[in-house]
Each structure stands twice: as C-alpha cells, then as structure tokens.
A and B are shown apart, each in its own frame.
Chain A
C-alpha cells in the first residue's frame, strides 16, 4: 500500500505528462506482482469500489475523536477523505500495513457490515498517505490526472513496446495482469490478442500541410469524405461479444447501451459516434451530454439518440480486412452496412472530386445539412492498408479553418516545469453589456499555448507590470476599455455551457496572434461569439 500511496501522491502533484509517465514507469518496474497489477487496474478505471460512504467514514472518525475537534479540522481542510486521513488517531500496536492486493481480496468477499470493520482496521495500520490513498480508492475517485491511455503508455515505456501492442492485447487481460507484466519483462511471449471482442489499434491521419503536400500527392490517388464531429469509435460484434471502444481502446459501451443493442452484425466497424436524429447529425455539444457517464438512462437516450457513421471495415465475419487496400475495404463496407440495415448505423459518404482545387472549394463551402457540421475533410489513399498508428502519407485530415476572435487578457496563472517562473496560462474575455448597460468583460476561455518563448516573456512582463489583484495563484490583470492586452484567439467550435458565466465554451482554444497594436475596446463582443454557436 505504501508504494501505491506514494505513487498516487506524486501523480496528484505532477502536472506534466512526461513526469507522470516516469513515475508510473518506475513504479511498474520496481513493484512486485500482484501489487502493481492492482495499481494498474485502479489507474485504468478497472477497480471501482463504493464500499465507504462519506457518512460512514465520518461516523467512524467521530467515534475515535472529539466531534468538535473533527469539525475544526474538516473546516480547515475542506475535503472529507483528506481530513480523515490526516486526523485518524495513531493506534500503537495496530496490525501491519495492508497491501493493496489484500484490500482488494478482502473487499471482494466482504459483506457490507464486514467492510466497516475492515476499513477501521486498515486505517489504524496505515500512515496518513496510506489512509488517503485507501479512502480515495474506496470512495471511488482517485483523481490524480491519469487517463487509461497514459497508464498504458507508461507500461509501453516500461516494456519497450509500442502502446498499440498494449492496446491490442489489453482486452484479453485481467487484473492483476501478471501475464502482461511477464511479457513486458521478457519472461514470456506476447499474450494472445485473439480473444473475441478485442480492440484493434486504430489508424490515424496526419494533418495536411497545404503548402507542401498538395504538390507532392496526386488527387486521383485519394478518396475524400467528411470528418464528422463526434468521437472516433470502433464497434465490435464478434462471436457474441459486443463492444464499443474509443480510439485509444477504452471500453465506452456502458455509456452507450443503445448503440451496443444495435450492433446486429458479425465484424468490426471503424466509424464516428454521433448523435443522430432521423439520419441527421447533431452538434458535438449534444454528444457531450452522453460522454463520460457511467450509465445512460432511457430518458437521456431518448433525448440524445446515438449512432455510428461508418468509415471503414476491419473485420467481416471472420475475415480480417486490414491488409486489403482501402478501395476494397470500402466496397465491402458499403455492402456490410446495407446488409446490417441497422437504424443506428449509416455510411459516411465519399465526396467525389477531380482536383485539389475542387476539394478546397468543397471544404470552404460545404453544402447545407450534415456537412455543415463536419470538422473538415479526410483524405485516404485508395490503396492504403489499415495500419495502426499515424503513418505519414496514406491518410490526411484537412480541418476547416478555425474560428477567430479578439479577446482581452483578464487573468493569468503560472505554468509548470520549464514555464514555472512564467505566467503562461491565460483567461481571456470579450465585451458584453451588464445589467446597468455598461460594457464589461466576461471570461470566455483559457489558453496556454500558441505563442513563442519570446512572446511568452513579453506577456509575462505585461502580467507582472499590470497585476491589479490576486487570488491564490491567479493574478488579475488590468483590463479596461482603454487598457489591456488583446489576443487573437483561434478555436474549433463553440457550445452553450451552463458552467461558464458567459454561457459559451470553446473547443481547443489557443492564442493565434498577439495584438499589442489593438485597443482593448475594439475586442469582440459576446454577441459575435453567440453567432458562432454550433
């Protein structure tokens, strides 16, 4: 438990991806089985308990210490699990510290009444960090900023293999993953990836470089289709196993039981998960209502019906199509989708074109309807095999030009690592009329990249020279009609949001240009943004 706890502790305070990778890689390398396997399960979301309810934890601690002292402590810390971890009184002569595997084993066979006793015994035996880790695990939220994908990346680094190799075998493996570690440590062969329902590593596209690539490639070699604005998925229906995976191999079937029900075929489809109403695509904002939920109820499903728009066919019956050229896979896909005749699966149509110029016009002026909501175009070589990863050449994505607005810097926060001495995370706002009819700035987004190191130095100086207030690590920067720093902000799309004061939320915002020359009063109005809503 000690190693697990100190890993969680470091992860929680380490913001950079690379730092997290090092911490996980070293932990996996240095920790024996089965402990590291259970940790891996916890990090990848495969170990969820709701054994300890807050009310119970509170009761347990109040039976051991004065309620008033606890209340003062809780008031000071603000987080129940952390408070209990810190104040739980020492108990000399307690049992030795439990290992994570012992906790997992004991909980899997314990009744509700037994859990309480077990938990108290563990809390007695652990130190503060151990108690914190245990309580976070048992209350069902580690929140250390690690995705399943990142944990698998760390495994790949530990074993010196490609992350796609991990993803390929992942779904045949089960906690505590001893076979997987045996392979990564060269003690055994690669585990079989043959289990039905497994994930196939996906093929991704490079962003096209308009300046160079069009001159180098022949339009006749490529097919084009819309890049739909949902999430890329792999729908698997194989010998009775029905699964829906994200493009990194996370099983998202639980959030989309309606889609799983409609996988009435034998094969594997690569496509885009979208909200589809009567055959028409709805905005990404609608899809977001259904993402990252543990389950979906009938009401939500009826309101936001999900479906798949198919791009590719990887498995047809028992036949693996991935080594066939795109042209043949596409022909097979058209037949496959027609035969499946599922109301929730349709075909992403190809867009015929003769020249790159013609395609450029299509991208700039998409027809009314679904295409108007697409993120851009996909180009796929007719002869491309289905190759895991992001090879250069066979597939390109050609996104629409981003939206641009001029916004005023309002708040700044220091960055991390190489940027730790610089104010590099910015919140910016646009003008709107407040209740009194005055123009006031309202924050509309945050960005922390899109500028050079030299520009960063200048903005940092501006922030330091023009700080008017501070809240914890956040600096309030002087911004008024007559004074302020204007950013040209680029973003991909805009949704309504109830969580933001301005009522809008940007996708993928970044600083496009610094407008030192532009007076703050000439920055955009909120009404301009509202017209850009998807």
Chain B
C-alpha cells in the first residue's frame, strides 16, 4: 500500500522525492533540486541541477553569481515537467517575486510543498493559488494565534503619518533586502508617497531585478552620502536590512527614527528588544488566520509542518479533525529579520 511518504519524505538534506530523485529546497548541495523561492535558506548554491521559476533563478544568480548551479531549468507557473513518473508543477505562493509552491504528483498522490507563502495582496508577486492535495506541506513561521496581522495599508499609514509628524527625522525602515524591501516601497507608492526613497546597497541590485520583471518601484536613490549632506535625509525614507539599522551605518542620517517591517513586530517585547520606535506589522508570511484558512481551503488528507510554531498548529489541526505532523526540518531560519540578527556575526567586529 503506497503512502505519501513514498513520494516525498524528510531527510537531513531536506524533503526528498525518491521516485524522481530530487529534493525540494535542500539545505545542502544535492544533484537535483526544486527551489520554491529565492530566500537564501531555501535557495542555496552548489546544486547540480536547479529547477525553479525564471524569477527565482534570476534572484539566485544575482545573489550567488551566474555559476550558482551546474545547470538550471526554468519552469513557468502552471507548467508541468515529468521525471521518472513524477510530475512537478510550480504554482504561485504569493511570498515574494517568483515564489512558488512545488506540486509533486506520483503514485496517485498529490503533495504540495508550499514553501513560504501568504494570502494577502502583494504588488510585487503573483497571488497564492490553492491546490487540492493529499498532503499539504506548510510553513508555520507565524503559527501561533497571537500573530494576526493588520491591513498593510493601515501599517503604511502609520509610517506616512509619522513622516508628517517628524519631518526632521530620517525614517529608517528595516526590511529584508529581498521581497520585503520592494513590498514596502510598493505599499508606500500605493499610499500615494511619490518622493524619492533611499535604499541600502544590499537592496539596490534586487530592486533592479524587480524592475526587470516589471515591478515599477518609482524614484529610488542609493542611501550613500558624504557627511556634509546629512541634512538632505531629514524626513526621508531609507530602507535597509535590519542589521544595518542597528549598526554604525545608520549614523550618517539625521536623527534616525528606527522602524521595522516584520511580522514579529506584532509582539511588543520583540519591538522593544530591538529598540524599534515604529514597529510596522508587515509580513511576507501567512499569519495565523491565513495558515488556518488555507489549510481548510486546500482540505488536504494530511498537513505536514516544516518549520515555525508547530505546537499551536498541531493543536488546531487536532481540534479540527485534520491529520497533521511536524517535520521539524532544520536549516530554515526566517527572513523576517530575526534570523539575520543571529547570523550577523557582529561580535567579531
């Protein structure tokens, strides 16, 4: 009697499909990999063949250089590639540009590896599409009921109001360079903010990449200045990775007001710990409501939880009569900022 585990099963290198001999988002170099999206904990360099969307491959090339894998294969959203009796389809996940769910069909089972995903509208990427399946492999970064995120527009309105109230202060918005930074820019634009937005060096290349794929970010300038022009940044928005905001880098600006766009900002202690003055609850991950409504909507026979707050989601599944298990995969940190802090290695210098 075949089981879904015969199609896809957890292994130290990541989720492995034995009949097709490939991994999804492997955390160490493998011969064949399917990559859901470009965040570095999911998309690593050094694989043999990488199958992903065109956008994801472009992101990997931008971050690791053109030779990040021996061979690449583009798969468009909705297209299927077959491999030793295994069908792989990539379906939009709504997480960041190019992000996809990997739909794996074999032995009569459909297993969906969602990667990271969210359900709310995002001008920088295609919206999540639910796929009915036998097993839904879900993230659970914010898999605890306290994480119910407010409307993005309300959060951006807090930023624009603060800009009006504190026109002399440089508003430093901490945002992960890939995805969050561009999303915040697009949300500001949607709110009618048309001034030049300044960005940290690590965001520039990715911005150009987003532009290439048709995401129009408006007027952007690098946030580099010689000291004499410090005042020019009064009342400006500067977007930078969270680590740069905590660091010496932010000293070049005028009386910086530290903001941080992340789902973690929903909990006050997290914001306080980072000395954030303007916490913006904007996430590229599904919140508790999105996770639970997605599971109900996809209506899988089983839910597998890859990483994050599995305890609460397991309990919820139990209460709702849904079979669930935690995979406890290692190697995925989160891209909402916290993981970055741990890997900053600042103590060394």
The reply on B229 being an interface residue by CB < 8 A is: no
A420 and B250 in contact, given A127-B150, A472-B273 (Cβ under 8 angstroms): yes
> A417 contacts which chain B residues (CB < 8 A)?
169, 255-257
Of the candidate stretches B40-48, B241-249, B300-308, the one touching chain A is B241-249
Contact A420 B275 (CB under 8 A): yes
| A87 within 8 A of partner (CB) | yes
Partner of A82, one of B268, B273, B275, B278: B268
Contact-residue bracket for chain B = 35 or more
Closest partner residue, chain B, to A22 (CB atom): B165
A contact residues, range: 35 or more
Tell me if A427 counts as interface (CB < 8 A to partner B): no
B266 on the interface (CB 8 Å rule)? yes
Q: Does B1 contact A (CB under 8 A)?
A: no
Tell me the interface secondary structure of chain A in the complex: helix
CB distance from B338 to the nearest CB of A (A): 12
Give per-residue flags for B127-171: 1 if the beta carbon is below 8 A from chain A beta carbons, else 0: 000000000000000001111101000000010001001100100
Contact of B248 among A10, A128, A421 (CB under 8 A): A421
Binds A, one of B63-71, B309-317, B328-336: B309-317
Q: Any chain B CB within 8 A of the CB of A207?
A: no
**B251–A77 contact, CB under 8 A?**
no
Tell whether B97 is near chain A: CB-to-CB under 8 Å.
Answer: no
B147 to chain A, nearest CB (A): 8
- Residues from chain A with a CB closer than 8 A to the CB of B148 are 86-87, 90, 128
State which of B144, B165, B246, B347 has its C-beta within 8 Å of the C-beta of A26.
B165
Known: A19-B166, A421-B250. Contact between A69 and B316, CB under 8 A? yes
A69 to B166, CA, bound (A): 40
Q: By the criterion CB–CB under 8 Å, are B250 and A86 in contact?
A: no
Q: Given the complex of chains A and B, what is the CA–CA distance between A23 and B338 in angstroms?
A: 29
Q: Which of B146, B246, B272 contacts A13 (CB 8 A)?
A: B272
Check A418/B268 contact, CB under 8 A, given A13-B277, A472-B273. Answer: no
Also in contact, A73 and B144, with CB within 8 A (given A13-B279, A23-B165, A66-B315): yes
Q: Whole-angstrom distance between the alpha carbons of A464 and B248 in the complex?
A: 10
Within 8 A of A (CB), among B265-292: 266-269, 271-279, 289
Interface centre among A6, A86, A90, A127 (most CB of B within 10 A): A86
**Least CB distance, B24 to chain A, in whole angstroms:** 28
Residues of B within 8 A of A420 (CB): 250, 256, 258, 275
Point out the residue from B147, B247, B347 that lies within 8 Å of A421, measured CB to CB: B247
Residues of A within 8 A of B246 (CB): 414, 421
A73 to chain B, nearest CB (A): 5
Minimum CB distance partner of B147 in chain A: A86
| CB within 8 Å of B: which A1-57 residues | 6, 10, 12-15, 19, 22-23, 26
Bound CA–CA A239/B146 (angstroms): 55
Is the CB of A416 closer than 8 A to any CB of chain B? yes
A76 touches B315 (CB 8 A): no
Flag whether A473 is at the interface (Cβ < 8 A).
yes
Q: Using Cβ atoms and an 8 Å threshold, which residues of chain A touch B258?
A: 420
Q: Which residue of B lies closest to A129 (CB)?
A: B150
State how many angstroms separate the Cβ of A472 from the closest Cβ of chain B. 5
Interchain CA distance A420-B174 in the complex, whole Å: 14
Please measure, in the bound complex, the distance between the C-alpha atom of A178 and the C-alpha atom of B266, giving whole angstroms.
Answer: 35
Are A14 and B277 within 8 A (Cβ)?
yes
Q: Pick the most buried of B147, B251, B274, B279: most chain A CB atoms within 10 A of its CB.
A: B251
Query: In the bound complex, how far is the Cα of B166 from the Cα of A22, in angstroms?
Result: 8
- Report chain B residues within 8 Å CB of A467: 347
Knowing A65-B145, A417-B255, say if A12 contacts B247 (CB, 8 Å): no
| CA of A90 to CA of B287, assembled, Å | 14
Question: Roughly how many angstroms separate A83 CA and B268 CA in the complex, as a whole number?
Answer: 10
The distance from the CB of A526 to the nearest CB of chain B, in whole angstroms, is: 30
Q: Are A72 and B312 in contact (CB under 8 A)?
A: yes
Residues of A within 8 A of B250 (CB): 420-421
Alpha-carbon distance A121/B169, docked complex (angstroms): 40
Residues of A within 8 A of B272 (CB): 13
Known: A13-B276, A66-B315. A73 touches B249 (CB 8 A): no
A78 CB within 8 Å of chain B: yes
- In the complex, the chain A residue whose C-beta lies closest to that of B254 is A418
CB of B164, distance to nearest CB on chain A (Å)? 9
Nearest chain B CB to A46 CB, angstrom units: 25
Q: A13-B276, A470-B347 are in contact. Are A6 and B158 (CB under 8 A)?
A: yes
Q: Which residues of B contact A111 (CB under 8 A)?
A: none
* Those 5 A-B pairs whose CB atoms lie nearest each other, nearest first: A421-B251, A86-B146, A87-B145, A421-B250, A73-B146
23 contacts between A and B (CB under 8 A): A13-B278, A19-B277, A22-B166, A66-B319, A69-B145, A69-B315, A72-B144, A73-B144, A76-B267, A77-B146, A78-B269, A86-B145, A86-B147, A86-B266, A86-B267, A417-B169, A417-B255, A417-B256, A417-B257, A420-B250, A420-B256, A420-B258, A421-B246
Known: A76-B144, A418-B255. 6 other contacts (CB 8 A): A22-B166, A72-B309, A86-B145, A86-B148, A86-B267, A416-B277
